[in-house]
Amino acid sequence: MNATRKALAAGLAALSLLAVSACGSDSESGSTDEVEVFTWWAEGSEKAGLDALVKVFDEQNPDLKFVNGAVAGGAGSDAKNVLQSRLQNGEPPATFQAHAGAELTDYINAGQIEDLTDLYEEKGWNEQFPEGLLERLKQDGGIYSVPSNIHRANVLWSNPAVLKKAGIEANKSYDSLGAWIADLEKIKAKGIIPLSIATDWTQVHLLETVLLADLGAEAYNGLWDGSTDWAGSEVKAALGDYSKLIALTNTDRQGLDWPDATQLVIDGEAAFNIMGDWAEAAFQEQGKKLNTDYTAVPVPGTEGVFDFLADSFTMPVDGPNPEGTEAWLDTIASDEGQVAFNKAKGSIPASTTADTASFGEYQQTAIKSWSEDEIVSSLAHGAATSVNWLTDITAAVAKFGSNKDVAGLQEGLAEAAEDNKPE
Amino acid sequence: MSSTVPSAVKRPRRPKGRIGGHGWVAPVLLILPTVIVIGVFVYGLIGSNIHTSLQDRHNIGPSQGFAGLDNYRDLFTDDDFIYSLRNLLLYTATFLVGTLCLGFLWAWLLERKARGESLFRAIYLFPMAVSFVASGVVWRWLLNNAEGNRASGLNRLFGSLHLDFLQNPWWTDERWGILAIAVPAIWQLSGYVMALFLAGFRGIPEELREAARIDGASEWQLYRHVIFPQLSPVALSAIIIIGHMSLKVFDLIMAIAGQTNYTTQVPATQMWIEFTRGDYAKSAAIGTILLLIVAILIVPYLVSTYRQERRR
């Protein structure tokens, strides 16, 4: 009895010593040739993209050592919590991933990331990124991050075989949501799911494209700077369309995530799906051919507008290794980095100087629109609003999903805008 | 433990007087680490949490000053928070009644010397070995709300048994959705309550029953006046244990419905959302309210057990 207790106590003591020494060695890392890159890219195509990026980084900076600070889980929310506690404790990584645009607001207000305007000037980045993007990235006159990739949010995916079965012409172009909704009703009458959708954030994604389609790009942008009234009749009409569309979706949406919703289109159980162009990877993985097995066009009513979202990298204030951070941002902005990363991840380069001849068929169409279309910021993916605002909007949309109260939804959205809109 | 050698001979003699005068030193040293650790990590952090909840700190920046009880006032005038409190109440009531009834029923059946007792005991207890997150992943599928020909999980089972009228939207129903979350919770914890009651049954001496029978008590009277009173401390423990687990429900909801789903909002999931968005004051206020609710349940129990122990 006594012997076991002693052994136990000794074991415990040894364990606690180990823990202490582990902490010690942890805080001693971060010598000047290490560059810790903090992301939530821990698996799948995102991990592949990061690996490709690291390869370019190692070639460009043989004397620097990349340290992977990826935190998996929760589509980035776990990583953001970890990151926040590190930033507040004054232990920032060399650089961290964040959605480009207004999602950076909180970091900027808290003085946690550096203004990169001078760096943009010095490196000539202002010339290589499209002006429309730079405009969307600017906050209080400064630019705080370097975009690594671009995704398009306003893409309508469809299955031509299903449309044919429902007696609707495939690849038909619609001028407005109204015409499209009329066709969706016909599809519903045939007992097919007209529009597939998944859990709350994909509903916010749908709402954003509906707002864009009904309000037009200018009024849509006005939603984020206060010049469009959330409580007004235009938004009311758009929410009416949104409500009609939700009624035309699969009822088990709350239990699904976006791959499940896209899969419904691939499997021919649903006719349409609105999702960002990362869905392209799902079609490709299953050997589907663009324009034969599936089509990808702008959401009806958003022709000529590119609803963008981007990942980007920042320079934390008082980072452990500013030169290393700069080297990483250099790699991100470089054409080699942009091409390597985006080919692996399935997105398109933000830089217009990158050589994109080797990109896939869908990406080519996106690259073309990227350089020609009007660029607006995505709501569901952090480009248009602060985290706080998006959280409030998501809550209002989630509530609508269960009570279907359009007036309540508009009230909730107007209140969210009132609480969060930039002064 | 051989008795051939008197133990007093083996034991080294303690030098009297030196330590004896400071008899409190050793015990205090022994409990000191625990006191410090609990003081810092439990009470210290509760204090710090309450302090945060009184601040005007609604983003990741530093506090903008003292806000008094504003955060609490905001919460109690927020319909969504009231809805989540209501959800918590419904969930707790269902979870408690469900586990107590099922647990008691199973214990009663096993206690009557049902055949294969140890097998059933194991079967009923097994679900408890699974974590809420792991079982949540399975129940997410079982409680899928698709109906008709896309139904899966339980709805599919109802469909193929021609019990289509039983198909329902489960946890996505605005009013009663939260009760669907109680189903897996009951499944998981009923076996535990059964074990508690079984121990309670076993602790009642056979003589008491015999005496009651000799006195001419019917089976119902035997339960009503002999068995139930003996089981009430067990029932109280079960209520406390299940009740406080229920108030903390978080993992099961996250695994089944996800954090943003409206119909399954409870204070704990709201606390997580507020924390993630950087609204530390509001999140701390929700945390404090949860602590108070749990305290309302636990403190009277602790006080009564303390009194009972003093009486002994």
Domains of chain A by residue range: 32-150+309-372, 155-307+379-420
Say whether B261 and A254 touch across the interface (CB within 8 A).
Answer: yes
Q: How far apart are CA B279 and CA B277, in angstroms?
A: 6
Residue A154 Cα distances to A345, A380, B47, B304, angstroms:
19, 11, 48, 62
| Residue of chain B nearest A404, judged by CA positions | B174
Residue B14 resides in a domain = no
| Same-fold call for A32-150+309-372 versus A155-307+379-420 | yes
Helix/strand/coil for B66: strand
Q: Do B146 and A252 touch (CB under 8 A)?
A: yes
- Could you count the other beta carbons within 10 Å of the beta carbon of residue B209? 15
Question: In Å, how far from its chain's centre is CA A207?
Answer: 15
Instruction: Write the residue in A252, A269, A388 that is nearest to B59 by C-beta.
Output: A388
Cβ–Cβ gap A250/B173 under 8 Å: no
Residues with Cβ within 8 Å of A216's Cβ and at least 6 positions away in sequence, in order, are none
Identify whether the C-beta of residue A276 lies closer than 8 Å to the C-beta of residue A156: no
- pLDDT band, very low/low/confident/very high, at A1 (cuts 50, 70, 90): very low
- Partners of B263 on chain A (C-beta within 8 Å) are 254, 402
CA angle B265, B267, B268 (to 5 degrees): 95
- Give me the pLDDT at residue A28, please: 40
Q: Which of A98, A219, A103 is nearest to A147 (CA)?
A: A98
Contact A250 B146 (CB under 8 A): yes
Q: Which has the closest alpha carbon to A115: A137, A144, A91?
A: A144
What is the model's pLDDT at position B297? 87
Query: Which residues of chain A lie closer than 8 angstroms to B277, CB-CB?
Result: 387-388, 391
Token readout for B293 is: 């609710």
Tokens encoding B47: 């204090």
B146/chain A closest Cα distance in angstroms: 5
Domain with residue B287: its CATH number is: 1.10.3720.10
How many domains are there within chain B? 1
CA distance A348 to chain B (A): 29
Of B60, B146, B258, the CB nearest to A106: B60
pLDDT of residue B7: 47
Chain A CB contacts of B140 below 8 Å? 255
B287, part of any domain: yes
Cβ pair A252:B150 closer than 8 A: yes
- Residues of chain B with C-beta less than 8 angstroms from the C-beta of A111: 61
Give the confidence band of B178 by pLDDT, cuts at 50, 70, 90.
very high
Strands A295-298 and A155-158, bridge-based pairing: antiparallel
User: How many Å lie between the alpha carbon of B273 and the closest alpha carbon of chain A?
Assistant: 8
**Nearest to A327, CA basis, from A101, A148, A63:** A63
Distance of CA A36 to the CA centre of its chain: 22
Q: How confident is the model at residue A27 (pLDDT cuts 50, 70, 90)?
A: very low
* Nearest beta carbon to residue B140 from set A255, A394, A399: A255
Greater confidence, B11 or B142? B142
Query: Quick check: B278 and A201 CB within 8 A?
Result: no
A162 Cβ neighbours under 8 A, 6+ residues apart: A187, A192, A265, A268, A270, A271
Query: A68-72, A234-238, A411-415: which has the minimum mean pLDDT?
Result: A68-72
Q: Which CATH class is domain A32-150+309-372?
A: alpha beta
CA distance B172 to chain A (A): 7
| Residue B162 is assigned to a structural domain of this protein | yes
B104 inside domain? yes
pLDDT higher than threshold 90 for residue A74: no
Assigned domain for B7 exists: no
Measured between beta carbons, the chain A residues lying within 8 angstroms of B279 are 388
Q: What is the pLDDT of residues B250-262, one digit of tens each?
A: 999 999 998 889 9
Give A106's contacts in chain B (Cβ within 8 Å): 59-61, 278
Mean of per-residue pLDDT scores for chain A: 89
Instruction: Report ipTM for this prediction.
Output: 0.83
CA of B22 to nearest chain A CA: how many angstroms apart? 24
Query: Do the chains contact at B278 and A88, CB–CB below 8 Å?
Result: no
- Domain membership of residue B91 (yes or no) is yes
Q: Determine the distance in angstroms separating the CA of B48 from the nearest CA of chain A, rounded to an integer.
A: 16
pLDDT tens digits, one per residue of A321-356: 999 999 999 999 999 999 999 998 889 999 988 999
Q: How many CB pairs under 8 A join A and B?
A: 81
pLDDT in tens, A284-329: 989 999 999 999 999 999 999 999 999 999 999 999 999 999 999 9
Tell me whether residues B261 and A252 touch, CB distance under 8 A.
no
Task: For residue A6, name the pLDDT band (cuts at 50, 70, 90).
Answer: low
**What pLDDT digit, counting tens, does each position of B75-92 carry?**
999 999 999 999 999 999
pLDDT band at A24 (very low <50, low <70, confident <90, very high): very low
Measured between CA atoms, how close is A209 to chain B, in angstroms? Answer: 20
- Report whether pLDDT(A13) > 70: no
For A251, the closest of B59, B62, B146 (CB atoms) is: B146
Ordered alpha helix ranges (H), chain B = 7-10, 25-38, 45-53, 70-76, 79-111, 117-125, 132-142, 153-160, 177-202, 206-214, 219-222, 228-247, 251-256, 267-277, 280-311
Model confidence band, residue B15 (pLDDT cutoffs 50, 70, 90): low
Would the pLDDT of B114 be above 80? Answer: no
Residue B294 counted as domain residue: yes
Q: Is residue B2 part of a domain?
A: no
- Write the CATH number of the domain with boundaries A155-307+379-420: 3.40.190.10
Q: Do B147 and A200 touch (CB under 8 A)?
A: no
